Structure 1
Amino acid sequence: MSDDRQTKAFPVSWDQFHRDARALAWRLAGAGPFSGIVCITRGGLVPAAIVARELGVRLIETVCIASYHDYKNQGDTEVLKPIAEAVIKAAGANGRGILVIDDLVDTGKTAKVVRDMLPEAHFATVYAKPLGRPIIDTFITEVSQDTWIYFPWDMGLTFQPPIRDGVA
């Protein structure tokens, strides 16, 4: 998504992200069991680790997809590393029993690429924007499409000006 349409800031602390990822695990507990997790890197790595711990899932795989090439502007999706064939075979060709995790679904472009790989997998994200919501199955918090989420791994500890000063 282009930076000029991102008008709201939503900074997320490590504590908040951990709470939200655990809430996702609670919500997913009744949707399983899951034979494995495929996390969409890089954003899905942290929530996948938390959810895997909470649900007792040991098989964790990554699918590496780039869509944000400069942190602000979403471009074409590029599969940098596909899902390992052994994981796909273990789950069956359609991905039934696999949990796909990402930090955020924005436009749904990245999720659609993975959904095409594993059409029957359960897709879960911590945060969801309206354009991407229809492609996923489970999420915790919805934010508006014009909100930029600042994840804790992308931030340092600095002063944040008040909203009234017109700084997002």
Structure 2
Amino acid sequence: MVQEKAFPVSWEQFHRDARALTWRLAGAGPFEAIVCITRGGLVPAAVVSRELEIRLIETVCVASYHDYKTQGTTEVLKPISEQVRHLGGAGGKGVLIVDDLVDTGKTAAIVREMLPDAHFATVYAKPKGRPLVDTFVTEVSQDTWIYFPWDLGLSFQPPISGAPS
């Protein structure tokens, strides 16, 4: 049995990482709008929109994790509005796409197809999906599971070595 690598992220760490993402994005604009990929992109989009003073925020709702642990079929539940899709031309130039994580790249590829000229940013990236994003903060291995603060309560974490403490 392969042991999954756990990467728990606290609210404070996530806020620092989202601000670090914003620092990297500051020179990449200007951006007229943010499209956040729900649900994971909601929190970093809030931080980025505040820091870059972007008021036009749209969502694209894509579901791929159906039981929180395994990726299934990818389904667009709500597309991007026509108003935002046509900013800067049909390709979305001047639009910033924000998500918490790019994993396999399935979701990113769908959204990238909707806005091929947009700038795509994620807080975290895994190797399979990394080529689809323009800006990210931290890369983790493909076999790492990121535990985001909105999915966690306070609980014991076993040692990384797997040995009992």
Name the TM-score, length of structure 2 as normaliser: 0.95
- 1:60 and 1:92 map into 2 onto residues whose CA distance is 18
Specify every segment of 5 or more residues in structure 1 that has no aligned partner in the other structure, as ranges. none
**Residue in 1 that maps onto 2:107:** 110
**Residue in 1 that maps onto 2:150:** 153
Does 1:132 find its partner at 2:122? Answer: no
Cα distance per residue 1:89-117 (max 9 Å; x no partner): 23421000000000000010000000000
Whether the aligned pair in 1 keeps the contact of 2:29 and 2:94 (CA below 8 Å) is yes
Does 1:69 find its partner at 2:66? Answer: yes
- 1:102 and 1:91 map into 2 onto residues whose CA distance is 21
Choose which of 86, 90, 96 in structure 2 pairs with 1:89: 86
Whether the aligned pair in 2 keeps the contact of 1:5 and 1:146 (CA below 8 Å) is no
- After superposition, residues 1-150 of structure 1 pair within 5 angstroms as 7-150=4-147
Name the TM-score, length of structure 1 as normaliser: 0.94
- Aligned residue type for 1:113: I
Whether the aligned pair in 1 keeps the contact of 2:7 and 2:144 (CA below 8 Å) is yes
- Aligned residue type for 1:41: T
Name whichever of 39-48 and 81-90 sits farther off: 81-90
Whether the aligned pair in 1 keeps the contact of 2:58 and 2:81 (CA below 8 Å) is yes
- 1:77 and 1:149 map into 2 onto residues whose CA distance is 20
- 2:2 and 2:37 map into 1 onto residues whose CA distance is 24
Percent identity reads 76
Cα distance per residue 1:7-36 (max 9 Å; x no partner): 100000000000000000000000000000
Specify every segment of 5 or more residues in structure 2 that has no aligned partner in the other structure, as ranges. none
Cα gap change, 1:162/1:111 in structure 2, threshold over 3 Å: closer, same or farther?
same
Size of the aligned set, in residue pairs, is: 164
Aligned Cα root-mean-square deviation (Å):
1.4
